[in-house]
Structure 1
Amino acid sequence: MRQSAEEETDARLAARLAELRAEHGWSLGELAERTGVSRSTLSRAERAEISPTAALLNRLCHVYGRTMSRLLGEVEAGAEPAPLVRAGEQPVWEDRASGFVRRSVSPPHPALRGELVEGRLAAGADLAYDRPPVPGLEQHIWVLEGALEVTAQDTAHHLAAGDCLRLRVWGPTRFRCAGEKETRYVLAVVLP
């Protein structure tokens, strides 16, 4: 039986997560302590028994010192990203549990500090990250359609179509679709 594209991506992601843990020489117990995620959840994610949520991937990215785009880029086929990536070739990842869809517009490259991501949040979606993947990460959030509420450093920012918020991420953040329709935004990420 042939796997769906989502199942293939989940399987590659699971394998990469297991590789990263092995590269660091950590047991599941050590990784659980570092992330605050249960051993069983980590184990299931590494065996592709579950599709990790954005919040779980964010915690893993934090301990591995990489952005989510970089992690997802490592999962995609091909070692070296091309200078031009056609729209149909841009990797898309979905957190089905939260209603979040993420498209890596400019796949990251280890030698570059910036990347572009398109985010889509379904009506009512609420996505919370308890820590940044990389402390001091600079983000520019430009809303293309809909309404978005971004909370950072205990301050809620209400953004409408056309608005852009710039911030450095040091602690928890929250992205919430603040309207009755899907929100679509561009996230420019710059490593410190």
Structure 2
Amino acid sequence: MLDNANPTDETAESGINERIAERVRALRAARGYTLDALATRCGVSRSMISMIERGAASPTAVVLDKLAAGLGISLASLFGGEREGAPAEPLVRRGAQLKWRDPESGYTRRNLSPPGWPSPLQLVEVDFPAGARVAYETGGRESTMHQQVWVMSGRIDIVIGDALHSLQQGDCLAMRLDRPIIFSNPTSKAARYVLAICDAPAT
């Protein structure tokens, strides 16, 4: 946490970490995985998973993506799901949409879709800083998922396997989450894009 971070930022980060902790604990329990079993499946250490489940860590996007792959879900699903005791609703207002900042790259993601609503489709809005880069290593999910990226402003370079795609404003790229993917912003200006994610297995 930066020295000039205000209490509101710290409270928001703590709340998001608690929500991620709640989701990981629930998903691991539902699948019957021990900490050791999940660590083996996702390549994240047992101690790190334990810290995430206690809300004692601020994991990076790369770590959370590995964890999501081990649980057989998309990264967005770790931020979704209704809170305990709160029924899912088909509408979520802008002010209630969950925001999360990757502590490593500085990119910010906002879950646009109503949390916990039974739909295979999820929308995520991403603000990607100038010069940022995130490399997702998980290409070995048991069930391949579909994803599309629509650039709202700026430029984003996406490398899927060995293929480079340079996306400008208005461009849309469809992909399968079955290979390592690298997102980068090679420019001096921030970019913004929307991810459309299908959590159902790809056919």
TM-score range, shorter chain: 0.7 to 0.9
The size of the alignment, in residue pairs, is 192
- Amino-acid identity (%): 39
1:179 is aligned to: 187
Change (3 A) 1:71 1:80: farther
8 Å CA contact 1:13–1:75 kept in 2: the answer is: no
Q: Do the aligned partners of 2:110 and 2:126 also contact (CA within 8 Å) in 1?
A: yes
CA distance in 1, matches of 2:133, 2:85: 33
Structure 1 residues 109 and 5: CA distance shift in structure 2, 3 A: closer
Separation of aligned partners in 1, 2:19 and 2:82? 6
* Aligned residues of 1:108 and 1:115 also touching (Cα < 8 A): no
Q: Per-residue displacement from partner, 1:123-175 (whole Å, max 9, x unpaired)?
A: 11111111256742111111111110011121110011111111222111111
Counterpart in the other structure of 2:103:
96
Alignment-derived partner of residue 150 in structure 1: 158
**What value does the CA root-mean-square deviation take over the aligned residues?**
2.4
1:32-54 superposed Cα distances (whole Å, 9 cap, x missing partner): 21111122222222222211111
Match of 1:125 among 126, 132, 149: 132
- In structure 2, the residue matched to 1:23 is 30
CA deviation after TM superposition for structure 1 residue 78, in Å = 6.0
Q: Which of 34, 42, 48 does residue 35 from structure 1 map onto?
A: 42
- Structure 1 length-normalised TM: 0.88
The answer for unaligned runs of 5 or more in structure 2 is 1-6
Letter paired with 1:94:
R
Q: Is the 8 A contact 1:81 1:109 kept in 2?
A: yes
Q: Secondary structure at the match of 1:174?
A: strand
Give the partner amino acid of 1:177. Answer: N
Of 45-54 and 155-164, deviating more is 45-54
* Contact kept in structure 2, 1:53 and 1:97, CA below 8 Å: yes
Q: Which amino acid aligns with 2:174?
A: R
Quick one: structure 1 residues 5 and 23, their matched pair in 2 at CA, closer, same or farther if it must change by over 3 Å? Answer: same
1:123 aligned counterpart, secondary structure: coil
Could you tell me which amino acid in structure 1 is paired with residue 150 of structure 2? W
**Worse-matched range after superposition: 6-15 or 158-167:** 6-15
